Chain A
Amino acid sequence: AQSVTQLGSHVSVSEGALVLLRCNYSSSVPPYLFWYVQYPNQGLQLLLKYTTGATLVKGINGFEAEFKKSETSFHLTKPSAHMSDAAEYFCAVFFSGGYNKLIFGAGTRLAVHP
């Protein structure tokens, strides 16, 4: 069955520290992978996506993610956290091959401390 798992519902980092948000998926078909950010009382904003090609994907606001097929992972990183990065982050996976479903992880709330 297709599934998306985000490890850690809450992550706390200091300003300037590395941000690492983890996402693993289960799929028998090649997936399309996404990271979204949601600020309080707002909608979803696309950070980055992987469909085909280069496995290291750069997105907005200094975020990047690497697709590792062997590990079925798509972890999100940012070298230096800013206070403005505090938000909830969602990993999403589109399962093709007849399934045609975009499934989200449960989300990770990122807190950034001064």
Chain B
Amino acid sequence: NAGVTQTPKFQVLKTGQSMTLQCAQDMNHEYMSWYRQDPGMGLRLIHYSVGAGITDQGEVPNGYNVSRSTTEDFPLRLLSAAPSQTSVYFCASSYSPGQGWNTIYFGEGSWLTVV
């Protein structure tokens, strides 16, 4: 998935630890979002941003924080990891709908295990 970089690819955390999943894109996209994927539940939207300085909650925001200080970066923070946050996380970016938006670019995913 050209242009969207997620790090780390794999991470094991202990319950209560904090960490940040990094997401960066070099396509000057305004719209960025974070999803988690769990078996049988598809991808669920955690948080999204329509531009630098603007973020909003998705379907499952609890336990996660985001910020968007630059157009390029959209980090996802787990403040106090819980086993229920064991999942695969995907970052996505695209142009905003008002700019003829049509294609979403996904990162390759981050596999997170909380023990």
- Most B CB contacts (10 A, CB to CB) among A34, A43, A90 go to A43
Q: How many residues in A have their beta carbons less than 8 Å from beta carbons of B?
A: 21
Besides A94-B101, A100-B48, A100-B56, 8 new A-B residue pairs in contact (Cβ under 8 A), listed by A number: A32-B101, A46-B104, A90-B43, A100-B50, A102-B45, A104-B42, A104-B43, A107-B42
Q: Which residues of A contact B101 (CB under 8 A)?
A: 32, 51, 94
A101 within 8 A of partner (CB): yes
| A 1-33 binary contact with B (CB < 8 Å = 1; else 0) | 000001001000000000000000000000010
Number of A-B contacts (CB under 8 A): 53
**In whole angstroms, how far apart are the Cα atoms of A9 and B108 in the complex?**
23
Q: Which residues of B contact A9 (CB under 8 A)?
A: 40
Determine whether the beta carbon of B97 is less than 8 Å from that of A100.
yes
Interface of chain A, main secondary structure: strand
Chain B nearest CB: distance from A32 CB in Å? 7
Q: Which residues of B contact A104 (CB under 8 A)?
A: 35, 42-45
Q: Which residues of B contact A51 (CB under 8 A)?
A: 101-102
- Most B CB contacts (10 A, CB to CB) among A32, A49, A51, A100 go to A100
Chain B nearest CB: distance from A44 CB in Å? 5
A87 within 8 A of partner (CB): no
Chain A nearest CB: distance from B92 CB in Å? 7
| B 72-115 binary contact with A (CB < 8 Å = 1; else 0) | 00000000000000000010100001000111101111000000
